[in-house]
Chains A and B, each alone.
Chain A
């Protein structure tokens, strides 16, 4: 059982009210949340210090314009926050940030994380013509019922980690029948309980993990099975990889948006991966032909080995791919298998070291001889 702050207004309004309260009472210096840019429903992450500006905040808008984990890392890369900021982020964004913190690419200090039981987000392309705003009523209905929501990102439909692991507060959404009337904010830490002291609203006790949540988890697992089957990752082999990545235009957008790909200067952007004329000659002599530009499969395999251990499956890579490569499915599958051998869930616990940065003396005897 956890203590819950119950506000009698819709989930989004309630959350906005909480943020306003935190700002006005100076419990936080700023709020980090999604904000409306234009009427048609495009949103962007923003830092807000003026409580009046919160009227444009859409903290629960079902779109991930960028993985917030990456943005929070940029805010705290050089120095940790001097004053508290409340950040409203999705579970996978929080996990991504924690993975970055483990890599010393950011700091958790002075952050208050507010997250939700995440119903999923729509693809970026749907944010262009206000399509998402049109979808919102349908979205809300499905959230209430605890359904897998149609037209959301395939990776969201297949996501099992939709309950935040380390948020200070969690807004219950999935399977909550009256999110249009009630806002229930779970206070997971002492810090959270202190922050809301003096706020209007009822304090109750209840479980976050409801039947609906459990049901959705099994529905999502089924979706994931279907998704993996569709792409048949394990059956790809070299020829499958060549086919899948053959349409890659080499924009490296997937690594730009990937929260785990944190290197400022990516090796793949360097001249080292530009073939010398002599390399072309030797490769041509060997193969009789060579793709231009070369090293596409190398790039993706390289990224897979570098990222898989910490991939949180946020789906940004697929979202930005202009060639429609099912990157996140492949990364999620490979990521899961790699994470399984290390018994690791990325972003779950900031105290747990990244598997590649630690070792046991007696392990993996099956790969060595």
Chain B
């Protein structure tokens, strides 16, 4: 069991909703796999596609962007832009024959501690099945 694959997921969590949601999951003592490496951003729209690609090529098994539900953005409309940008990055991945399932966009509000724990648990399981990111061992990036 020593060599069991433990996915590493980079998570860009928006300050106002998803990061607070993660906090709530913690203070509620909900259990979820320790696979997420959270990075707090002020808004999901702060995430440049380059951040996602960088994380992916550096060997993250998956990249999660999480923000406020549509309509609830602290800055009114940031998450709508983020969604378009995300759709674009996913399409680029798909068209180049790369695994777009390693990228995920989830809406998690500040009150959704259980949902946060669920998303991480479920996504970790999925990535576990997909196996490690092939970029991890490639030296010619």
Q: Within 8 Å of chain A (Cβ to Cβ): is B121? A: no
Asked, given contacts A305-B50, A367-B105, whether A236 binds B141 with beta carbons under 8 Å apart, the answer is: no
Q: Which residues of B contact A295 (CB under 8 A)?
A: 141
Chain B residues, CB < 8 A from A363:
83
User: Does B131 sit at the interface, judged by CB under 8 A?
Assistant: no
CA separation between A168 and B30, bound complex, in Å? 65
Q: Are A355 and B105 in contact (CB under 8 A)?
A: no
B9 shortest CB reach to chain A, Å: 15
A302 with B139: in contact, given A333-B95, A334-B96 (CB under 8 Å)? no
Given contacts A242-B141, A287-B136, A368-B105, contact A235 B50 (CB under 8 A): no
Known: A239-B134, A298-B57. A305 touches B89 (CB 8 A): yes
Chain A window 246-265, contacts with chain B (Cβ cutoff 8 Å), 1 for yes, 0 for no: 10000000000000000000
DSSP class of B's interface residues: helix, strand, loop or mixed? helix
Q: Inside 8 A of B96's CB, which chain A residues have their CB?
A: 233-234, 236-237, 240-241, 301, 304, 330, 334
A242 close to B138 (CB less than 8 A):
yes
**Binding site secondary structure of chain A:** helix
Contact of B134 with A306 in the complex, beta carbons under 8 Å: no
Contact (Cβ within 8 A) A302 B49: yes
The complex places the Cα of A369 from the Cα of B103 at a distance, in Å, of 12
Q: How many A-B residue pairs have CB under 8 A?
A: 128
* CB of B53 closer than 8 Å to a CB of A: yes
**Are B106 and A242 neighbours in the complex by a CB distance under 8 Å?**
no
Q: In the bound complex, how far is the Cα of B50 from the Cα of A117, in angstroms?
A: 37
Contacts of A341 in B (CB 8 A): 87-88, 91
Judge whether B107 is part of the interface by a CB distance below 8 angstroms. yes
Q: Are B83's CB and A369's CB within 8 A?
A: no
Q: Among A240, A242, A305, which residue has its beta carbon within 8 angstroms of that of B92?
A: A305
CA distance A367 to B87 in the complex (A): 6
Contact between A308 and B50, CB atoms less than 8 A apart: no
A359/B87 in contact, CB under 8 A? no
Which residue on A lies nearest to B85, using beta carbons? A356
Query: Chain B: interface residue count, which band?
Result: 35 or more
Known contacts A242-B138, A367-B105; is A308 also within 8 Å of B92 by CB? yes
Tell me if B59 counts as interface (CB < 8 A to partner A): yes
Assess whether B88 is in contact with A242, with CB atoms less than 8 Å apart: no
Task: Given A291-B140, A368-B83, decide whether A338 and B92 contact each other with a Cβ distance below 8 A.
Answer: yes
Residues of B within 8 A of A235 (CB): 97
**A233 and B49 contact, Cβ closer than 8 Å, known pairs A287-B136, A295-B141:** no
**Is A309 touching B88 in the complex (CB atoms < 8 A)?**
yes
Given contacts A341-B91, A356-B85, A359-B80, 20 further A-B contacts (CB under 8 A): A234-B97, A237-B97, A241-B98, A242-B138, A246-B140, A287-B137, A287-B139, A291-B141, A298-B53, A301-B57, A305-B50, A305-B89, A309-B88, A338-B92, A338-B95, A356-B88, A359-B81, A363-B83, A364-B87, A368-B86
Closest 3 CB pairs of A and B: A289-B139, A359-B80, A305-B49
17 A-B contacts, Cβ less than 8 Å apart? A237-B98, A238-B134, A240-B96, A287-B138, A289-B139, A298-B57, A302-B49, A302-B50, A308-B91, A338-B91, A338-B92, A356-B85, A357-B81, A361-B80, A367-B105, A368-B105, A369-B104
- B: which residues have CB within 8 A of A? 49-50, 53-54, 57-59, 70-71, 77, 80-81, 83-92, 94-98, 104-107, 119, 134-141
List residues of A whose CB falls within 8 A of some B CB.
Answer: 233-242, 246, 267, 283, 286-291, 294-298, 301-302, 304-306, 308-309, 330, 333-334, 337-338, 341-342, 355-357, 359-361, 363-364, 367-369
